[in-house]
Structure 1
């Protein structure tokens, strides 16, 4: 289980999340290369954060389509803290950057970020934005600023203990409210410029509440005068990697193939095996399962 807190102050709303267990479960399922799980873990973390802005049964999907080796990633999140995802080429990798850090941007490449919000209406909302950095956080900040006109600071990180073990994963997002004061904006820019990366804060023993406090404490304006910005935590909740696939859902999908195609399949094989992209669960079907349809 991961943890998320959501809060607000006079000038902004914020989210801080620990997704270590979520990214570890994703790694266990998808068997990603070190750089791929870094990229995928960041997108999963973003999905958890953005999912917490939803209401009721709304569903959010983030999809990247890029020219990098990773090609595309898909993450789906809900308002209850559930998230799941898959990626097209989990095993591909690229060398580390000269500074020894993971080259997520090099693996992801450039392309399009698609944000789909299914809010139960006739048609879902679809937003498109460019992926220029491939670093995920910067590309999401670009989306929020250009598509939703919401200035946003977002930080996402994944740190591995070894190739298969996620040591820390998490992130935070701060979004300015309408009419945010210039003094707060300046103070926030200075604070974000000085703060260490998310995974370093976690490695230093900070939990998400302490990180939220760090984001707001000791803020100063352009004249280096101390700025006090009280904040309130509105929600604390557990978040997790969860898949709602079932044999019944796959059965309904196979029915859409039609009687003729199903007969063709069973003429050459005894069973149909399906596998969920999100969790790897396999479901097997025999001709007997479709006897009513194939009559």
Structure 2
């Protein structure tokens, strides 16, 4: 059996932190999801390890994940939040609060919820991200439209030493051939920088087909990601519980694995995609 790490797991507890994006949500997501809810489905899907990923732009969410990780075998690390709009506050939080925590592995900000598509290019944010790069802290990009990705390409040019992963493959537009070609172009431009990784995740919801999506829908996305980034810079994420909008956690993983098996990759390549690349990115 291959060692598998899910690099995109969310937990949230309304008693622990505020999740502003869920306030008016009427879906199944608008309730507390704890690690106790996740562990049984993780076991059923035969996933060995997990990374908890930021779900709110506040310290409370990050602290909740770190506290959970510290007492949960099989959860390897946390992608947390830092106040990137203030370089001084970012440095202070890292140096005084998180630098000694062995589970704090990367940083993310819900930039797709910001009004400005170029939020990430604010001078203060760039300065904070430069601080991350200088301290070997990876950054996760959550881009939901081309404008976010074009801003990301500009950022990459400014900070070529910042290690970045593109969450959910930057939402490939599966239903629009012209938009898909643009997505390919952007991903190729990003991949020309060796510090940029691709996270194969969130494809069920990105398909917009939810319960009816299948391997045929996502194969071009995964095939392109591996072709563009190579088998040394791709890894996988289940995106629980958001993925539940598009079917069960176990079904999501079966579809990803089915596509990977169909690509006739070497055992070494599969080991890289399932575990080794993530271990390198998150310094596990």
Q: TM (normalized to structure 2)?
A: 0.29
Point out which structure has higher relative CO (alpha carbons under 8 A, 6+ apart). 1
Q: TM (normalized to structure 1)?
A: 0.28
Going by fraction, where is helix more abundant, 1 or 2?
2
